[in-house]
Amino acid sequence: MLSMAADERDLAVELLMSMKRFFKFKELESLLNISVPTIWRYIHGEIKPSIDRAREMLNKLLSRDVLNIVRDKILSVYSNGIVNVYNLAYSIDILSIASIDAYLWAYNLRPTAIVTAETDGIPLATLIAKRLNAKLATVKRRKDVGFKRFYETNYIAYDPPGIVTLYLPEGVLNAKDRVLIVDDLVRSGRTSQAVAELVKQSGAEVVGFYALIGMGSAWKSTIEKIVGSSYRVLFEVSQHTDQG
């Protein structure tokens, strides 16, 4: 395992500050087994946790149980299956939590490039790229001005139905790149499969997949064909959940 480039104590405090948006001090005290005064001093920068305590904080705050509580407080899923992504994809605190989670999970994959499809995945992909000191590439449904040659691929979308064409400018990725694909919401995996095809055309290697929301489980078989078990989603949502 590679040693972390970032200070895990700083990551733990940053994560704590974002989690404070969703939990009261007493709730954090119970979750972390750390007194309220100490938590207050961490958040206000008066002291830092030890490295061992920081790792405990990271593990507890990013546990599935805690993430499920955060999900239920902010995520709206309506009876027709529509997910209100905006509350997550554009929440600074959620983006901070997700980018820390992605950094800790993906660091040992050693990605050199973060690739996402426009549009809602761009904020998260940007923060992850910054944390991992990786370059950022965006796959789009149109050809960007300023590039002459593009890789392109098509896939069938069902909502709304139609054939979608995606483009990636040539030269953005190279054969030495190790790519982490990032998405805001994965439901079927078809978009990410198309993104992976463009990465393959560039000669780069897809080493992992990270998403903010995983809707149901149908997407897993598609993603596993691309990256095996090297994938993670921050929030798991049942296909039949109705929280709206």
**Model confidence, pTM:** 0.93
Give the pLDDT band of residue 93 (cuts 50, 70, 90). Answer: very high
Q: Domain containing 216 — which CATH number?
A: 3.40.50.2020
For the chain, the average pLDDT equals 93
Question: Do the domain assignments include residue 231?
Answer: yes
* Residue 95 CA to its chain's centroid (Å): 8
The boundaries of the domain holding residue 91 are 77-237
Which of 14, 33, 61 is the endpoint of a domain? Answer: 61
Distances (CA, A) of 211 to 11, 102, 120, 133, 218: 20, 9, 11, 19, 14
The pLDDT of residue 1 is 53
Asked if residue 141 and residue 82 are part of one domain, the reply reads yes
φ/ψ (deg, to 5) at 84: -80, 85
Asked if residue 125 and residue 206 are part of one domain, the reply reads yes
Q: Domain containing 31 — which CATH number?
A: 1.10.260
Locus of tokens 């050809």: 143
pLDDT in tens, 140-182: 999 999 899 999 999 998 777 899 999 999 999 999 999 999 9
Question: Do the domain assignments include residue 208?
Answer: yes
Question: Do the domain assignments include residue 91?
Answer: yes
Asked if residue 215 and residue 114 are part of one domain, the reply reads yes
Q: What is the mean predicted confidence (pLDDT) over 186-214?
A: 97
Which of 61, 86, 110 is the endpoint of a domain? Answer: 61
Asked if residue 116 and residue 180 are part of one domain, the reply reads yes
Asked if residue 112 and residue 39 are part of one domain, the reply reads no
Which of 15, 31, 61 is the endpoint of a domain? Answer: 61
The percentage of residues in the chain with a pLDDT greater than 70, rounded to a whole number, is 95
Please state the domain count of the chain.
Answer: 2
